[in-house]
Structures are given as structure tokens and as C-alpha cells.
Amino acid sequence: MLAAIKMEVMTPSLETPDEGCIAIDFHMPPICSPIVRPGRPAEAAPVVAKQLSDTILSSGMINLKELSLVSGKAAWMAYLDIYCLDADGALFDTALLSAVAAFSHLEIPVVSLNDDGKIVLSEEQGLSDREPVNKEKRKINLSSVPFSLTCVLHKNYILADPTAEEESIMDTIVTVVLDSSSQLVSLQKPGGTVLAYTSAIQDCIALTRQRVKELQKILEEAISGMEVD
């Protein structure tokens, strides 16, 4: 997965004058899978994008008030674009990890108001002598970071982190999302012929707890590797 965030200044809504907003788009170019054809959008792309948006917002990972600049007048709009480079199963799991990594590395720039009352970058516009809207570059404080694990149910067996071929053979899929403190954020089972009994769900959650520890370590190493002195 390749993830990038673009920031733009927007006018916040009347209902939430002190909050910014995030928009997530998931792209599946033809290079990611032989079943994705040029000129025809992949069916899974909007589904994954919606699932990502719901998970990030419901988990409380991002406090949208941190994206506010001037109450009722200006706030940040964060556009997150995720490009799938290899669609080999568990797309949501890898996309969610990419989204968390992108927001973990995001820095809010220093901005000021120019003579026209518009938000501009202080350094680029030569407004370093003016009082900035935000005092310094900063990262967003992330809390309750979500991690997920997709499992396939087949008879009395559970297959964690299936490949695309395994997903195509077995139609009963369960995706568990836990936060960094192992609290359940969401559980999704989009149909399927196998009944998800309580014991199977509990086993899936237990497997996810183990995976969360592994993903936290991977994420920490990846973020430290992206830091620039």
C-alpha cells in the first residue's frame, strides 16, 4: 500500500465550527491485480474506503478539533489517498495500517492570516513577523489507534490473514478491529454460509489481540524509520 495525505483549508460547517474533516479514497489500479481492468473501477475500492472512514471516525483515533484553525472560519481538510500495489487478500487490514502510519507521520504546518484574511503558509508568504494561527509545526495526537485482522471461517477452522485466492474460495469472512488497548472497535461479517458462533468470534478476537501486538511493533519501527532530523 502507498498512502499520502494532502491538506487544504476549508470553511467548517455550522454544526461543527471547531472541527476539521477527513476524506478517504482507496484506489486499485490495474497493476495491483489481474482481475482489475483499465478504465473500470474495482468493486472493492469504494467498500474499503467506506470501511476505513467508518473505522477511523468511530474509533476516535483522530480528534477533529485538532484540525481547527479559526473557529467557524477555517479548518484543515485532510485528504487521505491509499493506492493498492498488490491486492493479495485482506485489503482492509493493510489499508488501515497504511492510514494509521500516514496520520502518525502527518505534520500540521505553521500558517498565518494574510492581508485578505486568508490562511497561508507563514514561511512561503514572508509572514514570519505576524502572529501565526498555530505556534509551531506539530503532529496530530492519535488515541485509540485501530488495528484489524481478517479471518476466514471454514467448517471448524479459522484461517487468519487470507490471501486473495483463499478469500475467493471461502465466502465467510470476519474482520475484527481492536484499538491499541485491545478494546473492540468493530466486527464485520458480510454474509457467508458459515454461522459465526460465539466461540468462533472469540477465537477471531483472540487472534486479533495477538496481531495487534505485532502490528504495533511494525508501525513503531516504520515511523521511526521515516523520521528526519
* Domain coordinates in residue numbering, the chain: 2-226
Q: Look at residue 191 in the predicted model and tell me its pLDDT.
A: 76
pLDDT reading at 19 higher than 90:
yes
- Domain 2-226, CATH 3.40.30.10 — does that match? no
pLDDT reading at 175 higher than 80:
yes
**In what helix (H) or strand (E) does residue 165 lie, and over which residues does it extend?**
helix 164-169
- What is the model's pTM? 0.89
Question: What whole-number distance in Å separates Cα of residue 100 and Cα of residue 96?
Answer: 6
Q: Give the residue from 98, 59, 90 showing the smallest Cα distance to 185.
A: 59
Q: Which residues is 204 bridged to in the sheet?
A: none
DSSP 56: H
Average pLDDT over residues 75-94: 95
Q: Look at residue 78 in the predicted model and tell me its pLDDT.
A: 96
Amino acid (one-letter) located at 168:
S
Average pLDDT over residues 24-43: 91
Average pLDDT over residues 214-221: 91
- pLDDT category at 135 given cuts 50, 70, 90 is low
pLDDT reading at 37 higher than 80:
yes
Q: Does 194 or 21 have the greater pLDDT score? A: 21
Q: Look at residue 174 in the predicted model and tell me its pLDDT.
A: 94
Q: Look at residue 117 in the predicted model and tell me its pLDDT.
A: 63
Q: What's the chain's length in residues?
A: 229
pLDDT reading at 224 higher than 90:
no
**In what helix (H) or strand (E) does residue 207 lie, and over which residues does it extend?**
helix 198-226
- Residue 106 DSSP SS3: coil
- Residue 228 DSSP SS3: coil
pLDDT reading at 121 higher than 80:
no
- pLDDT category at 193 given cuts 50, 70, 90 is confident
Q: Look at residue 129 in the predicted model and tell me its pLDDT.
A: 53
CA atoms within 13 A on the CB side of 159: 17
Rounded to the nearest 10°, the torsion over CA 166, 220, 101, 58 is 80
pLDDT reading at 160 higher than 60:
yes
Q: Give the residue from 171, 175, 162, 160 showing the smallest Cα distance to 210.
A: 160
CA distances from 174 to 12, 47, 48, 204 (A): 36, 15, 14, 8
DSSP 142: B
- Asked if 79 contacts 25 with a C-beta cutoff of 8 angstroms, the reply is yes
Q: Look at residue 39 in the predicted model and tell me its pLDDT.
A: 83
- pLDDT category at 172 given cuts 50, 70, 90 is confident
